[in-house]
Amino acid sequence: MAVIGGILLIGWLMALASGPEAYAWYVGWATSPIGYLLMVGLSWAFFQHMLSGLRHFVLDIGAGYEVDNNNRWSALLPVLSIVLTAFLWAIIFFA
């Protein structure tokens, strides 16, 4: 997540500093299907990482150690990350 996101951010900053033609090329590339796929993948990785961190935070405070509860949350986190990613991109595309 950090490597791909960092490369995209540095590329955007370089295109911004290089002038209007370079920026227009970068925006055209970023809004292509491959660019959208990368950005959707990055946002999914962000939400997955964030939710896993919250789950571990709850475990660190001493809750959620029951096997059924722990299994339920570990199975629910990928679904929640997909739902949050879909919600984010629905807002981006339709708002």
Sketch the domain layout of the chain as residue ranges. Answer: 1-31, 33-95
Residue 24, classified by CB atoms within 10 Å of its CB into exposed (0-12), middle (13-18) or buried (19+), is exposed
pLDDT at 35: 93
Tens of pLDDT, residue by residue over 5-54, are 999 999 999 999 999 999 999 999 999 999 999 999 999 999 999 999 99
Tell me which of 56-65, 70-79, 86-95 is least confident.
Answer: 56-65
Confidence of residue 63 (pLDDT cuts 50, 70, 90): confident
- Nearest 10 degrees: CA dihedral of 59, 85, 79, 77? -10
Tens of pLDDT, residue by residue over 83-95, are 999 999 999 999 8
CA dist., res. 67 & res. 57, Å (int): 17
Alpha-carbon distances of 22 from 18, 39, 40, 90, rounded to whole Å: 6, 20, 23, 28
**Lookup: tokens for 73:** 């949350």
